[in-house]
């Protein structure tokens, strides 16, 4: 294994040595791992980090599920009860369904005691 020199600022070299010690690795292994990480993940330290496609997809799915849950809740707690109230109002206002014209159940049932009155 041949060694070569890199020219670094003293503060950068100190930070790198501390980083290597903190991760229980020698400096060569640490630098190899850092370079491998950047290459495998197609990252560049000179570009800003943008969210990956996977994390964006997960975020979008999460928000879509939240919207679906909100719509279901609105339908269950607001739309359906309001629709039922409106339907009952329309039925009550319909002249064909007038209360006076309706026969009571017991009027058609000859077993009911009021049938023979």
Q: What is the mean pLDDT of residues 4-31?
A: 93
Of 37, 36, 31, the C-alpha closest to 49 is 37
Instruction: Specify the higher pLDDT residue, 52 or 106.
Output: 52
d(CA 29, CA 26): 6
d(CA 75, CA 94): 26
pLDDT given for residue 106 in this prediction: 53
Q: What is the mean pLDDT of residues 81-89?
A: 87
């Amino acid at each position: 294994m041949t060694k070569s020199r890199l020219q670094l600022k003293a503060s950068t070299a100190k930070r790198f040595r501390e980083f290597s010690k903190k991760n229980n690795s020698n400096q060569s292994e640490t630098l190899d791992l850092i370079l491998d990480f950047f290459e495998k993940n197609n990252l560049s330290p000179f570009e800003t980090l943008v969210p990956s496609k996977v994390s964006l997809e997960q975020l979008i799915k999460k928000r879509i599920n939240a919207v679906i849950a909100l719509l279901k809740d609105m339908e269950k707690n607001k739309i359906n009860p309001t629709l039922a109230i409106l339907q009952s109002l329309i039925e009550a206002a319909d002249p064909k369904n007038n209360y006076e014209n309706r026969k009571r159940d017991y009027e058609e049932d000859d077993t009911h005691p009021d049938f023979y009155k």
